Structure 1
Amino acid sequence: MADTAGTPLPGRVRDLLDDLDAVSGDAIGDAAALLLESVANDGIVHVAGAGHSLAMVCETFYRAGGLAAVRPIWDAGVLPLDDAVRSTRVEREPGVGRRVVAAAAPAPPDVAVVFSTSGRNPYPVEVAEACAARGVPVVAVTSARASRGAAARAPTSLADHAAIVLDTRVPPGDALHPPEGPRTAAVSTILAAYTWARVLADLDDLAAARGVGLPRWTSANVPGGDEGNAALLARYKDRIPELAGG
């Protein structure tokens, strides 16, 4: 990646997006193909993350234009909204990720997508490792640069257990501004959300080319949205209990 130290923040973000396209473009297509194979065979896409990576779990679940066959798997302890210090502690606690996967019990033809910028804490590593051990392929949405610069709190990294790695290119420490000594303007959510949007776009194109209908949510805020989603809720609510408070 070119040196962009003197570039204003908007330009630096755009440069990172271009870098992501160049580095991860092929892998994004591979991830779309993997998801299509799973969903076409009535599989579920299990999504996981901790701390601020839970923003990406929300981005994938029950989202306008998103796949209906998505189940969030998570432990309440990793949510930072009511106890931020606890969320950091739980993400580093061995065993939590394995328990989450055991409770969700994913199995082929399911797929797992695990979001973690550093991919070095036990929670996301264990989720990926446990899913892979069940024969469920893992798509890791992570940053190789951030991972190299992070403290290793698990013997392996998230990427070590992934069938496909989507490198978001997030810099170590996440912050992007000011360029001479970054301390604010975290960029991980922007890059991860863009990555996921690209996966969905490639998935849509691939499904259309193969004549496969995808189960997709429609915004509840447009006419007919609730009615269109009712069939999807009926189809998936027993397999995805989080859809109806189960």
Structure 2
Amino acid sequence: MPDPSTPASAPANLPGRLPDRVRTLLDDLDDAAGPAIGEAAGLLLAAIEADGIVHVAGAGHSLAMVCETFYRAGGLAAVRPVFDPGVFPLDDALRSTRVEREHGVGRAVVKEAAPAPPDVAVVFSTSGRNPYPVEVARECAARDVPVIAVTSARASRSAAARTDTTLADHATLVLDTRVPPGDVLHPAERPRTAAVSTVLAAYTWARVLADLDDLAAARGVDLPRWTSANVPGGDEVNAALLARYRHRVPELTGGA
């Protein structure tokens, strides 16, 4: 497992075309995070087998990954999104940046969600240097809830340090997305556009789900997975999962 506290160099000789550079970063992620992917799947399966909940957090554009994990076709039903409305960027982008940097907000959302064993937490943050994701991870760990950090060691080392520790410092397991500093990839000689963090994080999560599926199948465990509502029988499958989890995941029904 790569250690985000130690230097990790960028992939050598990144190609010039954007599609090729993205593919190179995906290959680099596979090489760096391979064993940790399987370990993350093991942590998730242990929680699910014990009837735990997967608490998922992020802020700003990392909330895209919270959406990717929650109420998603093919995704786990035992997922609860953990967030403060202030970190949501679509109705007040400047506020979301400000709130992510405020001390105490992350602690408050964890207190509200009240994760406890056998739950597990997944925290997405490319830089992992703002107070919000760091506090979420630290508070979950303090509650003996294992923390999977999905972050970039390279981006973290180059980011402004707004806390004494990083997200990775409080993680049970780190999935290094290998996102370059500044996130952008194009043009190759002086990158200024085409952010890649969501692509790499989504790929990382998809790999975790694939390994989780294989591990569950090998153990004979039937995972609680959402089915697309656009395929025959999907609504019926999902109705049973809603009945099972709606009182433990109030965000599924707005608390109703």
TM class, shorter-length: over 0.9
Paired residues for 1:1-246 under 5 Å: 1-246=10-255
The amino acid of 2:214's aligned partner reads: D
Deviation, 1:42, is 0.1
Q: In percent, how many aligned pairs have the same letter?
A: 80
One-letter code aligned to 1:161: H
Letter aligned with residue 93 of structure 1: E
Per the TM alignment, residue 223 of structure 1 is displaced from its structure 2 partner at its CA by: 1.1
Normalization by structure 2: what TM-score? 0.95
Alpha-carbon distance in 2 for matches of 1:33, 1:142:
19
Alpha-carbon separation, structure 1, partners of 2:13 and 2:130: 29
> Amino acid of the residue matched to residue 243 of structure 1?
L
Counterpart secondary structure, 1:169: coil
The one-letter code sitting in structure 2 at the alignment partner of 1:209 is: A
Query: Equivalents in 2 of 1:60, 1:5: separation in Å?
Result: 30
Q: Which amino acid aligns with 1:198?
A: R
Does the 8 Å contact 2:11/2:28 carry over to 1? Answer: no
Q: CA deviation at 1:2?
A: 3.7
The amino acid that maps onto 2:235 is D
Letter in 1 for 2:192: R
Please state how far the C-alpha of 1:212 moved relative to its aligned partner: 0.7
Unaligned runs of 5+ residues in structure 2 are 1-9
* CA-based RMSD: 0.7
Gaps of 5+ in 1: none
- Could you report, residue by residue, the CA deviation over 1:32-75 in whole angstroms, capped at 9, with x for unpaired residues? 00000000100000000000000000000000000000000000
Q: For residues 136 and 65 of structure 2, what CA distance do their matches in structure 1 show?
A: 16
